[in-house]
Amino acid sequence: MFDLTGQVALVTGGAKGIGKGIARVLANAGATVIIADIDEAAGKTSAKELGAHYFYLDVSNQESCKQVVAAVKRDFGQLDILCSNTGIFPQCNLATMTEQHWDEMHNINLKGTFFMVQAALEVMRTRGYGRIVITSSITGPVTGFPGWSHYAASKAGQLGFMRSAALECARDGITINAVMPGNILTEGLQAQGEDYLAQMRAAIPTHTLGTPDDIGHAACFLASREARYITGQTLIVDGGQILPESPEAIQ
């Protein structure tokens, strides 16, 4: 689609699911791809499969985020693209939600985004070039779902963070944008159970779940040189899920 030859891309949470789809599309576009993930076994397997590289990463740990970016700079000389994709989505109703549930969600989804973007910006600024693509969600910024109030807050928070961060690096040749997936068939989504998946298929106008590569293609566009004049924006990739005004509007 877009030519990323000679570019170095770091994809967090790239061992599985959407991150792996992003890693695959970027690698196919010619980028040198580094998968950074807490799951070492899956990370190494996916890296081998895609002709990519693997580094251990825990996004909730600032030192780990700094070390990964430093290792990319050391081994590959530059960092052109960061896809900050890691996220978790365990469900928990408010009635039983503890501070620990809340903190775990935000430590990974929101604080992890801050840690990774801050670390990447430092390296990108030295070359005056960078593309950052955050994986947010429709859940939170646009829609809601019982059991996901903490998740929804983290995903909406990522967008608020992005808009101000985009302004801070606008004159440095660096753009920050976000993809907002709908329901994409990944290991994480599968864990929500068959009832949930059936409910979602019925709510999506195409009646199909998305694939990780669908998000990969959107991320690849925002990560390309050609998207240089787009910053602080969002791209919903959801098969039209947010469109219907009523269930009857779906054919």
Q: Assess contact for 22 and 11: CB atoms under 8 A.
A: yes
Please identify which residue in 13, 130, 140, 141 interacts with ligand NAD, judged by CB under 6 A.
Answer: 13
Binding mask 155-184 for ligand NAD (x = CB under 6 A): --------------------------x-xx
First to last CA, the chain: 32
Please identify which residue in 90, 173, 188, 205 interacts with ligand NAD, judged by CB under 6 A.
Answer: 188
Q: For ligand NAD, give the closer residue by CB, 130 or 212.
A: 212
Stretch that binds ligand NAD, among 53-61, 91-99, 119-127, 169-177 (CB under 6 A): 53-61
| Nearest alpha-carbon partner for 35 in 1, 86, 89 | 86
Please identify which residue in 8, 52, 83, 108 interacts with ligand NAD, judged by CB under 6 A.
Answer: 108
Please identify which residue in 7, 9, 11, 19 interacts with ligand NAD, judged by CB under 6 A.
Answer: 19
Beta strands per DSSP E along the chain = 8-12, 32-37, 53-56, 81-84, 130-135, 174-181, 234-237
Establish whether 54 is a catalytic residue.
Answer: no
Does position 137 bind ligand NAD by CB under 6 A?
Answer: yes
What are the b/e assignments for 45-60, b being 16+ CB within 10 Å?
Answer: bbbeebebbbbebbbb
What gap in Å lies between CA 197 and CA 191, rounded to an integer? Answer: 10
Q: For ligand NAD, give the closer residue by CB, 57 or 174.
A: 57
Please identify which residue in 31, 57, 69, 162 interacts with ligand NAD, judged by CB under 6 A.
Answer: 57
Of 56, 129, 151, 229, the active-site residue reads 151
Backbone angles phi, psi at 134, to 5 degrees: -100, 135
What are the b/e assignments for 108-144, b being 16+ CB within 10 Å?
Answer: bbbbbbbbbbebbbebbeeeebbbbbbbbbbbbbbbe
Q: Name the amino acid, one letter, at 18.
A: I
Q: Assess contact for 108 and 88: CB atoms under 8 A.
A: yes
Does position 47 bind ligand NAD by CB under 6 A?
Answer: no
Stretch that binds ligand NAD, among 32-40, 141-149, 161-169, 223-231 (CB under 6 A): 32-40
Binding mask 205-244 for ligand NAD (x = CB under 6 A): ----------------------------------------
Helical residues (DSSP H) of 142-232, grouped into ranges: 149-168, 187-190, 194-203, 212-223
Does position 141 bind ligand NAD by CB under 6 A?
Answer: no
Q: Which residues are catalytic?
A: 151
